[in-house]
Structure 1
Amino acid sequence: MRRHWTAPALTVAAALAMSGCGLGGTETPPQQQAAPTTTSGQVTGKVSLQTWALKPKFTDYVQGVIDGFEKQHPGVEVEWLDQPGDGYSEKVLTQAASGTLPDVSNLPPDFALPLAKQGLLLDIAKADAKAMEEYVPGGLEAYRFAGLDGTFGYPWYLNTDVNYWNSELLTKYGLDPKQPPADLDALIEQARTVKEKSGGKVYLMSRKPGLSDLANAGVKLMADDGSAFTFNTPEAAALLDKYAQAYKDGLLPKDILTDTFQGNAKLFSEGKAAWTTGGGNHITSLQTDNPSLAPKVVSSAAMGTPPLYVQGLSVSAKSKNLPAAVALARWVTNAENQAAFAHLVAIFPSTKASASDPFFSKSDGTNAGDAKVTAFTSLASAKMLQPVQFNSAMDKIVNQQFALAISGDATAKEALDTAVAKCNELLNQ
């Protein structure tokens, strides 16, 4: 499933208004940035920082980061703007259209895309080339957009998914929890074993595929220039056919294709499914939701390329104080400040230097500690698997068409062709 990962203090907020919307009266041609005066020079004067729903829970943390920056650079003054969770995308659009975008803003990649298209965000690859060596590759790649030349954000904090297995159920049905499936074929094979030995009472597989699964199967999801979706390929059809056969063979819950399906994570929590995916802290939440299950859970790295969920800081290309803006974005996203944030909330830092931090890289010996290390280690190769242009309306179309293919009500090719055609209609609106 596509996940729009928002600020730690938020529930998930829809970004549909951003992804298909223009910037009102903005007349700036696509990707035509106002030539910055300079990004180097004395860091002084006023500079603004906009965050997304971090007050009041993280007020002390953010203010401490700001105080440290002002102490590091005497003469600089940071104005901190924190916007509520609801309506943040519309607020950013309004700021951009009116020319009041703050110097530095917290923008996830899908929020940054329309601004980058209008030339309103600084290309840090040109302005701050050193940054290209200091952040994990996937975090930087998240701010490079098809059809545009540049990198339009500093990765701030990250997360990814890992696999979680119910070791008690795997053992009960003759499988080895120390050697869980590492790919789809092995997953289907072991799911068949669980079905046969449990009499269909327990499932190993309990979710249907999405675009991320196609990406991991080597399917090219979008044209290089971002002009069209391209995931209706023979490889994609083959993957859907595997799921269709698994569904026909009873390896997936019958209601998995309906709106009434409880969800993979809930079935796992209830002991009705032996596998789920989740962030690096999922076992910690299980300790609250199902304390008896939590000790039985073991983790493994995500199958294929781990998915990346990223928040970042983008610099306004029209900032009147670029030296301070770039320095501030760098300061907020440096290894020390990100590590301090990660001690407060379950996130991971985006800097390469963080790899040696034992808080992330060494387990305390618990299964929760092991999962955290698995997730953190995965970030070195994690990527955003779905294009940022793929929005919630498109996700609904894909889910509907994939369900038709898996149920046998359409061929895989028919479902994929329809999904691509409808998604491209939305893309070109």
Structure 2
Amino acid sequence: MRRYWTRLTVALVATAALAGCGLGGSKASEDTGGAVTGAVKGKVSLQTWALKPKFTDYMQGVIDAFEQKYPGTQVDWLDQPGDGYADKVLSQAAGGTLPDVVNLPPDFALPLVGRNLLLDVGQADPALTADYVAGGIDAYRFPGHTGAYGYPWYLNTDVNYWNGDLLSRYGLDPKKPPTTLDELIAQAATVKERSGGQVYLMSRKPGLGDFANAGVKIMAVDGKSFTFNTPEAVALLDKYRDAFKRGLLPQDVLTDKYAGNAKLFTAGTVAWTTGGANYIGSLATDNPTLAPKVVPSPAMGTPPLYVQGLSVSAASKNRPAAVALARWVTNAGNQAAFAHLTSIFPSTKASAQDPFFARSDGSNAGDAKVIAFASLAKAAMLQPVQVDGAMSDIVNQQIALAVSGGATSQQALDTAVARCNQLLSQ
């Protein structure tokens, strides 16, 4: 993604220097806040990402209902294919043709916020914080910028999944799985000892999300530097290095050849993995005999939050209709209907009492759905959106070096922070 947004910044700098080139001139770069008032009428454009053809009927129904609720409105719905979406948004932003309402995950929204191309919907819609879950809104708040720049649309998170059969076989209680790293390490030692090293409980190295859950501040408040080389991060890496040295993780877990804990879980050689709320359903296809034995539990610490949202262009010539449309698409009823069609969760507070999400049918898959939905109340984005692919590679390489003993934890973290800060400054 870094190359997309580097090109976007260059393009925006160039086009912003040209008066009247479709970015709304100085007004678009200055007038990005304030409550939006006025009649909801006229034409307004909506861009989604890869919803056709599977969800055409659903979206068209939402649009038709909006036009009926607000007579005189006309929605121009654009749906872009999955591949190349970042390039498309880049081109639209640089050319001043960004739709009035556009589907942007937080990492796509950030560079546009930096150029004042998105509306602060927190100011435009004073009811935002009252109606949507805090984590979803916070995903569209960015360091160095005041306000919120997107309506959270649909959410997801991770759940822990345990092989109940393996835990029982090695003397552990599937109804009391680990809830902390220390408990995980202790039970991993039990599994190793009693399985003769044939089965693992731990099967992945840590990442930035684990640091965040350990109380590590990943970035400075202003978002201009990384700060995760702290004593807390060192202590966490030291625990993983010790566990790796004791053989509690697969030997190839630090290499590019590692199959991944999800595949090993499916094969029955690993007793723990993480996944979305629908994981057991997909597992039933890959390993139908294992799926009924799986026990779900909440993610350890703060659950990770995955967000899609709708942002409003600051250059929109029809802000009242744009804000109303973004709120309409993301309201409780429309989000619930969408969630019934696919494996996502709504972001509105009003959805909390919906029995479809809040009650299990008694199956382990139903339990997982309820656990995931309940987790959204405290879920948060654990990895800053500023982290791109190149930075992730650096962090992963240095973590692997520390866990393997090739460098001290402090050395590895210092190197990762220095190199990521260098990329960030570019």
Where on the TM-score scale, by shorter chain, does this alignment land: which range?
over 0.9
Aligned-pair CA distance for 1:15: 6.4
Which of 23, 26, 46 is residue 15 of structure 2 equivalent to?
A: 26
Separation in 2 of the partners of 1:384 and 1:289? 29
Alignment partner of 1:202 is 2:189: no
Relative distance call for 1:323 and 1:121 in structure 2 (3 A) is same
The answer to whether the 8 Å contact 2:32/2:120 transfers is no
1: distance between equivalents of 2:5 and 2:27?
16
Residues 20-419 of structure 1 aligned to structure 2 (within 5 Å)? 21-22=8-9, 24=11, 25-27=14-16, 32-34=29-31, 39-419=36-416
CA distance in 1 between partners of 2:185 and 2:36 (Å):
53
Q: Structure 1's 382 and 340: CA in aligned 2 closer, same or farther, altered over 3 A?
A: same
Deviations 1:83-117 (A, max 9, x none): 11111111111111111110000000000000011
TM-superposed CA distance for 1:26, in Å, is 3.4
Output the CA distance in 1 between the equivalents of 2:184 and 2:399: 19
Contact residue 18 and residue 90 of structure 1 kept, 8 A: no
Q: Distance in 2 between matches of 1:355 and 1:32?
A: 37
Deviation at 1:417?
A: 0.5
State TM-score, norm by structure 2. 0.95
Q: Distance in 1 between matches of 2:90 and 2:152?
A: 21
Cα distance in 2 for partners of 1:105, 1:19 equals 20
Aligned residues: percent identity? 69
Contact 2:132 2:347 in 1 (8 A): yes
SS of structure 2 residue aligned to 1:273: coil
Counterpart of 1:361, as a letter, is: A
Larger mean CA deviation between 191-200 and 94-103 belongs to 94-103
Q: How much has 1:217 moved relative to structure 2?
A: 0.2
SS of 1:388's equivalent in the other structure is: coil
- Per-residue deviation, 1:132: 1.2
Contact kept? 1:36, 1:322, Cα under 8 Å: no
Alpha-carbon distance change, 422 to 15 in structure 1, aligned in 2, over 3 angstroms: closer
Give, in angstroms, the shift of residue 18 of structure 1: 2.7
SS state at 2:273 partner: strand
- CA 1:363–1:19 in 2, change beyond 3 Å: closer, same or farther? farther
Aligned residues of 1:167 and 1:177 also touching (Cα < 8 A): yes
**Counterpart of 2:54 in structure 1: which amino acid?**
K
In the alignment, structure 2 segments of 5+ residues that lack a partner are: 17-24
The one-letter code of the counterpart of 1:238 is A
Task: Provide the secondary structure at the position in 2 that maps to 1:157.
Answer: strand
The one-letter code matched in structure 1 to 2:131 is E
How far apart are residue 21 of structure 1 and its match?
Answer: 4.1
Q: Is the 1:15–1:89 Cα contact (8 Å) retained in structure 2?
A: no
- The structure-2 alpha-carbon separation of the partners of 1:328 and 1:199, relative to structure 1 and needing over 3 Å to count, comes to same
Q: C-alpha separation between the residues in 1 aligned to 2:142 and 2:35?
A: 24
Q: Residue by residue, what CA displacement relative to the aligned partner does 1:237-288 show, whole Å, maximum 9, x if unpaired?
A: 1100000000000000000011110001000000000000000110010111
- Report the AA paired with residue 292 of structure 1: T
Amino acid at match of 1:409: G
Number of matched residues? Answer: 416
SS of aligned partner of 2:140: coil
Please report the RMSD computed on the Cα atoms of aligned residues, expressed in angstroms.
1.5
State the secondary structure of the residue aligned to 2:36. Answer: coil
Q: Residues 36, 248 of structure 1: CA spacing in aligned structure 2 closer, same or farther, 3 A cutoff?
A: closer
Task: After TM superposition, give the deviation of residue 363 of structure 1 in Å.
Answer: 0.2
Give the superposition deviation at 1:31: 9.5
Distance 1:252 1:36, change over 3 A: closer
Counterparts of 1:216 and 1:26, CA distance in 2: 41
Asked whether the 8 Å contact 2:35–2:126 carries over to 1, the reply is: no
- Tell me if the contact between 1:161 and 1:375 (Cα under 8 Å) persists in the aligned partners: yes
What letter is aligned with 1:26? T
Do the aligned residues in 1 keep the contact of 2:28 with 2:315 (CA within 8 Å)?
Answer: no
Distance (Å, rounded) in 1 between the aligned partners of 2:236 and 2:27: 37
Normalised to the residue count of structure 1, the TM-score between the two structures is 0.95
Task: Establish whether residue 17 from structure 1 lines up as the match of residue 20 from structure 2.
Answer: no
Say whether the 8 Å CA contact 1:49–1:105 is kept in structure 2. Answer: yes
Partner of 1:427 in structure 2?
424
Query: Which structure 1 residue ranges, 5 or more long, are not aligned?
Result: 1-13
8 Å Cα contact 1:237-1:412 kept in structure 2: yes
Alpha carbons of structure 1 residues 239 and 30: separation in structure 2 relative to 1, 3 Å: farther
Kindly tell me: are residues 75 and 63 of structure 1, through their superposed partners in 2, closer, same or farther at Cα, counting changes over 3 Å?
same
> Is the CA contact (8 Å cut-off) linking 1:30 and 1:119 kept in structure 2?
no
Contact in 2 for aligned 1:166/1:274 (Cα 8 Å): yes
Preserved contact between residue 19 and residue 114 of structure 1 (Cα < 8 Å): no
